[in-house]
Structures are given as structure tokens and as C-alpha cells.
């Protein structure tokens, strides 16, 4: 019989209790125990950023964290980045509008990273946006549309109308 440890977390605003093995990764607890499959696991070495979630508001790689180390923490996954009405949150909406995804595998990590970034940086420049997403890898998009999405998400978060043109046109870059 395997030893388990009771862990109490708040996940996407809801209290959750889990019985996990001491070496259970947060990414596995989220995906397999809580069935929150929006958190993707890419490299399993903390390099790609696909598994990024917010732990007490800070972006962290869930593939590097043991679930037992987070007892009492608040975890926000991409599912928790939705609008209060259940629709797309501002970052998700911006990714959609700016065509900032292709295969979508890396997108949950970008969404959580950008959500945390915009909570502290209301009006990022393109250079700021590039710096904010530097820890997340995408093999499909070339990043231009992701940078545009960061800026559009800032506009949406503040209720401002779009100042960004089509990212392919080069305007507002």
C-alpha cells in the first residue's frame, strides 16, 4: 500500500482536498486527480512553460512542483482564467482575436503567464510583452501574434477599445 498525504488547495476558486503520494507532481494532480486537463505537460523539465499555472498569483511550472508542497495554496489553471460569466477571459479573448495560437499546446501556459503579468503591468509595450513571455516556448506561431495578444489583453482588461490592428499588418507593434 502506498503512502498518501492529504493536501488542501484552492483550485480556481474552489476548495479541494486531495490524497496524493508524496512524489505526485502538481501537473499530474491537476490533470489526473482533478481532471483539469487544460494544464499541458510538454518537456517535464520546466523549460517549455506549457504546464505553467498560478500559485498564489505567481506563474510556476507545475511539472516541477510536488503537490504536497502546496498545502494551503491557491492554484489557478487556464480553466480559472475564464470570465466570471464562464466565457472567455480577457487573455483568452485576446488570443482568439489576435490568432495567437496554432496547435494550442503551449497556449494554457501563455494564458496563465500573461494573466499574472497583466495583473501588475497594465499597459505593456511590445518589448515588455516579449520579455513577459520569454519563459514560454511556442513552436508554431513565431510569437508576433502572441505579443499582439498580450497588448490586446491589456486593452480588454481595462475595457479599452482595440488600438491594435491586424498583427500581420505591422501596425501598433
pLDDT at residue 172 greater than cutoff 70? no
25: CB partners within 8 A, 6+ apart? 62, 63, 64, 65, 66, 67
Please, which residues bridge with residue 60 across strands? 53
pLDDT at residue 160 greater than cutoff 90? no
The second-level CATH assignment, the architecture, of 5-80 is Roll (3.10)
The whole-angstrom separation of Cα 97 and Cα 155 is: 12
Name the pLDDT band for 171 (thresholds 50, 70, 90).
very low
pLDDT at residue 161 greater than cutoff 90? no
Minimum mean pLDDT range among 3-7, 12-16, 43-47, 72-76: 43-47
The C-alpha cell that represents 99 in the structure block: 490568432
The whole-angstrom separation of Cα 37 and Cα 59 is: 17
**16 or 171: which leads in pLDDT:** 16
Please, which residues bridge with residue 53 across strands? 60
Please list the residue range(s) of the chain that carry CATH number 1.10.150.120.
90-162
pTM: 0.88
Please list the residue range(s) of the chain that carry CATH number 3.10.20.30.
5-80
Q: Which CATH class is domain 90-162?
A: mainly alpha
Amino acid at each position: 500500500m502506498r503512502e498518501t498525504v492529504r493536501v488542501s488547495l484552492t483550485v480556481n476558486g474552489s476548495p479541494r482536498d486531495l490524497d496524493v503520494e508524496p512524489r505526485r507532481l502538481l501537473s499530474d494532480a491537476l490533470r489526473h486527480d482533478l481532471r483539469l486537463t487544460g494544464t499541458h505537460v510538454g518537456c517535464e523539465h520546466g523549460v517549455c512553460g506549457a504546464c505553467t499555472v498560478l500559485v498564489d498569483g505567481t506563474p510556476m511550472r507545475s511539472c516541477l512542483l510536488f503537490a504536497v508542497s502546496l498545502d494551503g495554496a491557491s492554484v489557478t489553471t487556464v480553466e480559472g482564467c475564464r470570465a466570471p460569466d464562464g466565457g472567455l477571459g480577457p487573455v483568452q479573448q485576446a488570443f482568439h482575436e489576435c490568432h495567437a495560437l496554432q496547435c494550442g499546446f503551449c497556449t494554457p501556459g501563455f494564458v496563465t503567464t500573461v494573466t499574472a503579468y497583466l495583473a501588475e503591468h497594465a499597459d505593456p509595450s511590445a518589448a515588455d510583452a516579449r520579455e513577459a513571455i520569454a519563459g514560454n516556448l511556442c513552436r508554431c506561431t513565431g510569437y508576433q501574434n502572441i505579443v499582439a495578444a498580450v497588448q490586446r489583453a491589456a486593452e480588454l482588461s481595462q475595457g479599452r477599445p482595440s488600438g491594435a490592428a491586424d498583427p500581420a499588418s505591422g501596425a501598433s507593434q
